[in-house]
């Protein structure tokens, strides 16, 4: 008879660090929603602080897997799923909480998350193709999704300066039926760089 939670018993140490990454990203999403309810800047800043912490866990899980020689297909899939929460959905949620709430903003933020999902799926397929040999993925195609940490830093500076909500940097444009906050275009740029096939970044 199968035992309850048997899957968890099969997790390696690195996998728990990956889950900690996902935990931080989920917490950032909840903090964003709490800020929209409470209007307390502290809640928003807590959510933003969780993304660098997720980045630390993301960096450590790979190092631990190599140290313990315990890398696996399950670990790679877990890593991608955690990354899309912490570096895709969470930054978009934080941006929305900061005031990027126009109709065009929604589209751009959704594009950003879609690019992140596509980027991670492409990486997993590439890694799978090379897993049969002794070679490893030598470079990233497009920027890795954790680079969205830079977007969160930008949002954190804006929040610290009080430049959120109606006071967002660069103001608001009315384009047809919807509003666009020019600040959201950094998310469009980040997403486009993630799905680039011509941009090659050496993998450490």
In a domain? residue 41: yes
Rounded Cα distance between 69 and 56, Å, is 20
Predicted confidence pLDDT, tens digits, the chain (204 residues)? 455 555 555 666 677 888 999 999 999 999 999 999 999 999 999 999 999 999 999 988 777 756 556 566 666 788 889 999 999 999 999 999 999 999 999 999 999 999 999 999 888 787 656 544 545 566 778 899 999 999 999 999 999 999 999 999 999 999 999 999 999 999 999 999 999 988 877 766
Rounded Cα distance between 33 and 124, Å, is 31
SS3 state at 175: strand
Write the CA distances from 200 to 111, 138, 139, 140, 141, integer angstroms: 21, 9, 6, 6, 5
Give the pLDDT confidence score for residue 17 in this predicted structure.
85
Decide: 137 and 130 in contact? Cβ < 8 Å: yes
Give the pLDDT confidence score for residue 132 in this predicted structure.
47
Rounded Cα distance between 26 and 15, Å, is 17
The number of distinct structural domains making up the chain is: 1
In a domain? residue 1: no
Give the pLDDT confidence score for residue 201 in this predicted structure.
76
Range of the domain at 20: 6-202
CATH assignment at residue 146? 1.20.120.1760
Give which of 153, 157, 126, 156 is closest to 141, Cα–Cα.
Answer: 126
Give the pLDDT confidence score for residue 41 in this predicted structure.
96
Give which of 108, 56, 106, 64 is closest to 82, Cα–Cα.
Answer: 56
Give the pLDDT confidence score for residue 11 in this predicted structure.
61
Residue 40 burial by Cβ neighbours in a 10 Å radius (0-12, 13-18, 19+)? exposed
In a domain? residue 183: yes
DSSP 135-151: ----EEES--GGGGHHH
- The beta strand positions in the chain, using DSSP E, are 139-141, 173-175, 178-180, 200-202
């Amino acid at each position: 008879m199968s035992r309850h939670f048997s899957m968890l018993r099969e997790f390696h140490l690195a996998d728990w660090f990956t889950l900690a990454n996902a935990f931080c990203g989920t917490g950032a999403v909840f903090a964003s929603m709490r800020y929209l309810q409470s209007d307390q800047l502290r809640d928003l800043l807590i959510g933003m602080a969780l993304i660098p912490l997720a980045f630390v866990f993301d960096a450590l899980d790979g190092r631990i897997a190599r140290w313990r020689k315990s890398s696996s297909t399950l670990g790679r899939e877990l890593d991608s799923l955690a990354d899309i929460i912490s570096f895709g959905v969470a930054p978009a949620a934080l941006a929305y909480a900061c005031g990027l709430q126009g109709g065009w903003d929604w589209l751009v933020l959704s594009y950003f998350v879609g690019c992140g999902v596509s980027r991670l799926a492409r990486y997993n397929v590439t890694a799978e193709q090379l897993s049969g040999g002794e070679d490893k993925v030598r470079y990233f195609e497009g920027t890795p999704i954790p680079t969205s940490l830079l977007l969160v830093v930008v949002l954190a500076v804006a929040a610290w300066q009080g430049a959120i909500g109606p006071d967002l940097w660069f103001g608001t444009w009315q384009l047809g039926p919807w509003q666009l906050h020019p600040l959201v275009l950094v998310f469009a740029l980040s997403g486009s760089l993630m799905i680039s096939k011509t941009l090659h970044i050496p993998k450490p």
